[in-house]
Protein backbone atom coordinates (compact mmCIF):
# COMPACT_ATOMS: atom_id res chain seq x y z
CA UNK A 1 0.00 0.00 0.00
CA UNK A 2 1.41 3.40 -1.00
CA UNK A 3 1.75 6.09 1.67
CA UNK A 4 2.51 8.97 -0.69
CA UNK A 5 -0.96 10.55 -0.49
CA UNK A 6 -1.48 10.13 3.27
CA UNK A 7 -1.26 13.25 5.48
CA UNK A 8 1.62 13.51 7.94
CA UNK A 9 0.32 12.49 11.35
CA UNK A 10 1.80 12.10 14.79
CA UNK A 11 1.40 9.14 17.06
CA UNK A 12 1.61 9.26 20.81
CA UNK A 13 1.02 6.50 23.29
CA UNK A 14 0.94 5.75 26.96
CA UNK A 15 1.53 2.43 28.59
CA UNK A 16 -0.33 1.16 31.62
CA UNK A 17 -1.46 -2.44 31.30
CA UNK A 18 -1.53 -2.34 27.53
CA UNK A 19 -0.62 0.13 24.87
CA UNK A 20 -2.83 3.04 23.97
CA UNK A 21 -2.22 4.60 20.58
CA UNK A 22 -3.65 8.02 19.78
CA UNK A 23 -3.44 9.13 16.18
CA UNK A 24 -3.91 12.78 15.35
CA UNK A 25 -5.22 13.48 11.87
CA UNK A 26 -3.88 17.02 12.04
CA UNK A 27 -0.83 17.42 9.81
CA UNK A 28 2.40 17.78 11.78
CA UNK A 29 3.11 21.18 10.18
CA UNK A 30 -0.24 22.52 11.48
CA UNK A 31 0.33 21.16 15.00
CA UNK A 32 3.63 23.02 15.32
CA UNK A 33 2.26 26.18 13.74
CA UNK A 34 -0.51 26.88 16.24
CA UNK A 35 -1.08 27.49 19.93
CA UNK A 36 -4.29 27.02 21.89
CA UNK A 37 -5.34 29.65 24.44
CA UNK A 38 -8.50 30.14 26.52
CA UNK A 39 -9.55 33.76 27.10
CA UNK A 40 -12.49 35.66 28.54
CA UNK A 41 -14.54 36.54 31.59
CA UNK A 42 -16.31 34.21 34.01
CA UNK A 43 -19.19 32.60 32.13
CA UNK A 44 -17.82 33.55 28.71
CA UNK A 45 -14.53 31.77 27.97
CA UNK A 46 -13.45 31.33 24.35
CA UNK A 47 -10.99 28.73 23.11
CA UNK A 48 -8.68 30.18 20.47
CA UNK A 49 -6.31 28.42 18.10
CA UNK A 50 -3.70 30.99 17.10
CA UNK A 51 -0.75 31.16 14.72
CA UNK A 52 2.19 29.69 16.64
CA UNK A 53 4.69 31.32 14.30
CA UNK A 54 4.31 34.70 16.03
CA UNK A 55 4.61 35.98 19.58
CA UNK A 56 1.17 36.87 20.94
CA UNK A 57 0.63 39.40 23.72
CA UNK A 58 -2.27 39.25 26.15
CA UNK A 59 -3.68 42.39 24.49
CA UNK A 60 -3.63 40.76 21.02
CA UNK A 61 -5.24 37.55 22.28
CA UNK A 62 -8.01 39.47 24.04
CA UNK A 63 -8.65 41.62 20.95
CA UNK A 64 -8.79 38.49 18.78
CA UNK A 65 -11.32 36.97 21.19
CA UNK A 66 -13.38 40.19 21.17
CA UNK A 67 -12.68 41.31 24.74
CA UNK A 68 -11.61 44.71 26.11
CA UNK A 69 -9.50 44.67 29.28
CA UNK A 70 -10.42 48.22 30.38
CA UNK A 71 -11.71 48.10 33.95
CA UNK A 72 -10.56 44.52 34.51
CA UNK A 73 -7.68 42.84 36.27
CA UNK A 74 -5.87 40.45 33.91
CA UNK A 75 -4.79 37.00 35.09
CA UNK A 76 -2.87 34.47 33.01
CA UNK A 77 -2.97 30.96 34.45
CA UNK A 78 -3.89 32.48 37.82
CA UNK A 79 -1.10 35.07 37.99
CA UNK A 80 -1.60 38.85 37.55
CA UNK A 81 -0.10 40.10 34.27
CA UNK A 82 -0.01 43.25 32.17
CA UNK A 83 -1.51 43.30 28.70
CA UNK A 84 1.93 43.28 27.06
CA UNK A 85 2.87 39.87 28.56
CA UNK A 86 3.72 37.14 26.03
CA UNK A 87 1.23 34.26 25.84
CA UNK A 88 2.36 30.66 25.37
CA UNK A 89 0.51 27.51 24.39
CA UNK A 90 -2.07 26.16 26.83
CA UNK A 91 -2.52 29.35 28.86
CA UNK A 92 -5.81 30.70 30.18
CA UNK A 93 -6.35 34.46 30.27
CA UNK A 94 -9.11 35.71 32.56
CA UNK A 95 -10.52 39.20 32.98
CA UNK A 96 -11.64 39.79 36.56
CA UNK A 97 -13.45 42.76 38.06
CA UNK A 98 -11.22 44.33 40.73
CA UNK A 99 -12.34 43.55 44.27
CA UNK A 100 -12.83 46.63 46.44
CA UNK A 101 -12.99 46.13 50.18
CA UNK A 102 -11.56 46.83 53.60
**pLDDT average, residue stretch 2-27:** 44
The pair phi, psi for residue 89, each rounded to 5°, is -55, 135
Instruction: Name the CATH code of domain 32-96 (choices 3.40.50.300, 3.10.20.30, 3.40.50.1000, 3.40.190.10).
Output: 3.10.20.30
The residue among 73 and 4 whose pLDDT is bigger is 73
pLDDT of 10 higher than 90: no
pLDDT per residue over 28-72, tens digit each?
A: 555 558 999 999 999 999 999 999 888 999 999 999 999 999 999
**pLDDT average, residue stretch 79-87:** 96
The residue among 85 and 3 whose pLDDT is bigger is 85
Pairing mode, strands 92-96 and 34-41: parallel
Name, in order, each residue with C-beta under 8 angstroms of 20's C-beta and a sequence gap of 6 or more. 13, 14
Amino acid sequence: MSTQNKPNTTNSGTSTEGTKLVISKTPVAEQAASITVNAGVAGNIKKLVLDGGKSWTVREVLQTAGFDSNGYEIRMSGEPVKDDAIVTDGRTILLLRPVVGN
